[in-house]
A and B are shown apart, each in its own frame.
Chain A
């Protein structure tokens, strides 16, 4: 399991050494021992380009930082942009690992194959509960999937808080529900449409479309009359997570590790990493580490849902 440790013994020492020394020592060791593969000739750190999902960017960053402590010779460079950007990077070969909060679509996989000549390989790395956020002063505690659909769907009938049983939100200027959504190519937008709005339906026009998971939560936290959806890991003290029921009258469920894994929480999705064909040595070690206990602990710490223990 701990292959990064055993592969280059110098790395073990390096962890203990002071930061500056560790780098130099490690590279010398690599050159002398010849234990690392082809790229060991230069003094540079080896880097893994990791691009994609905005939902996962916090998690990917946490992984990269934690992995830096385990394998100081490898730097993982994380950037966000969205699942679509990650897949595009996979197609044109600028990413070694693409993060996506949705499964790759068949035509995208085909394009990636055309681009690199290899089938993209999929790794399930965790789960994310999509939480429904409202302002912390909003008295709403639970909402049904039907009501959520009516709020967000084009032609949906719910426009005011009164219609979902909220009489008065302290600080809100009127009764209107202010819908906060995502830009129309985000993975979260697509997933929410599929599960809540209806795959063949469209969102109601006039929602505030934010460009990032964090922006949604931030705006909801500053706007008393707002409702929004975003990753479970983005909760702040300014917002409240609302319980969701599958149908009106069903028990409502708060998103958590248990409820996401036992599928009682209805808006949860798997998180993936894709590599172009078989991962390179470095990427393989990184992915193995991500799926190890240490990597999955990071998932839990960042507010996402780790893979079920085998």
Chain B
């Protein structure tokens, strides 16, 4: 082995001078080609995102459309009936009102819990803490975001379920509050990181001006920074909400999965996402049940689209400033 390497190594060094000249000549050509190739590749990557979104929407729509436009389908009953009996023998009914209310109740409560924590943490990380604490906090918060939702669901079932029964004397521990707490924990990291970016984007001259006026740190935050970063913070909240609306596994496990219009946070509910997750696997392809599940998919798509669009518009508002 060593012999061969010794014998092989000299030639390159001997011809080294010529090779360098040669390489310089070819470099321009290869570089230009590589540049072009990379440019096309990156352009493709950019366009692919659009392609994927439209592709997914197209396929979801294609599966749902035959029933959506059939005469059997009654959009009024679909949206405003609470009777969800897709596998009934005598009279299948597809009303998703209870599921919509379920999704919104869990999301609303989750947002209500998450906003103070998320924005509070964003303000703390961006304005109040030292460099070391900030780095540690950011790592830990990112770790929180990395926990898989099925693990959250497991925590919901095994830890929160008995806890909620004991603390709130709720008859069932799997309920709106349980799901909302999990979703709040899941959307806080998003709110913190985007909210922090928004606060960071406020020019330091604002802070300096506030200080010069004799404002305390807290006055600077709530009189100057929060109004200045308003749109970015709103986007942070909305993206957190988008996360909550689309979340599936944790709510499937923790909300009790009961078709029910909740009257209190301690009632079990079922969400749109959980219904798809629980039922699509066994709905026979092409049946009305299967198609309706895809129509629910379209509905969810529309909801998250609206939420994300408003977040986007809010961010754009920031850029204009």
Contacts and interface: CB of A to CB of B under 8 A. Distances in A.
Nearest to A81: B281
B170 A173 contact: yes
Interface in B72-99: 82-91, 98
B256 interface: yes
A185 interface: yes
Given A205-B84, A205-B98, A223 B172 contact: yes
Contact of B270 (A174, A209, A222): A209
Contact of A208 (B84, B162, B257, B283): B257
Nearest to A204: B259
Contact of A173 (B89, B169, B284): B169
A223 B281 contact: no
A200 B171 contact: no
Interface string A181-197: 00111100110010000
Interface in B238-265: 252, 256-260
A202 B282 contact: no
Most buried by B among A82, A203, A208, A226: A208
Contacts of A85: 281-282
Instruction: Decide if the interface of chain A is mainly helix, strand, loop or mixed.
Output: loop
Nearest to B267: A206
A110 to B, nearest CB: 12
A231 interface: no
Given A219-B174, A222-B173, A223-B171, A185 B282 contact: yes
A120 to B, nearest CB: 15
A183 B173 CA distance: 19
Contacts of B278: 183, 209, 211
B279 interface: yes
Contacts of B232: none
Instruction: Decide if the interface of chain B is mainly helix, strand, loop or mixed.
Output: loop
Interface string A213-245: 000001100111110000000000000000000
A206 to B, nearest CB: 4
Given A206-B258, A211-B252, A222-B162, A88 B284 contact: yes
Nearest to B98: A205
B179 interface: no
A31 interface: no
A248 interface: no
Contacts of B279: 183-185
B258 A209 contact: yes
A60 interface: no
26 contacts: A82-B281, A82-B282, A84-B281, A173-B165, A173-B170, A178-B172, A184-B86, A189-B87, A193-B89, A200-B89, A202-B85, A203-B85, A205-B83, A205-B84, A205-B98, A205-B259, A207-B259, A208-B172, A208-B174, A208-B256, A211-B257, A211-B278, A222-B161, A222-B165, A224-B171, A226-B172
Among all A-B residue pairs, the 6 with the closest Cβ atoms: A84-B282, A185-B282, A206-B260, A173-B171, A200-B90, A184-B87
Interface of B: 82-91, 98, 157, 161-162, 165, 169-174, 252, 256-260, 268, 270, 278-279, 281-284
Given A205-B82, A208-B174, 19 more contacts: A82-B281, A84-B281, A84-B282, A88-B284, A173-B165, A173-B170, A176-B171, A178-B171, A183-B257, A184-B279, A185-B283, A186-B282, A189-B87, A205-B260, A206-B268, A208-B172, A211-B278, A218-B157, A226-B172
Interface of A: 81-82, 84-85, 88, 172-174, 176, 178, 183-186, 189-190, 193, 199-203, 205-211, 218-219, 222-226
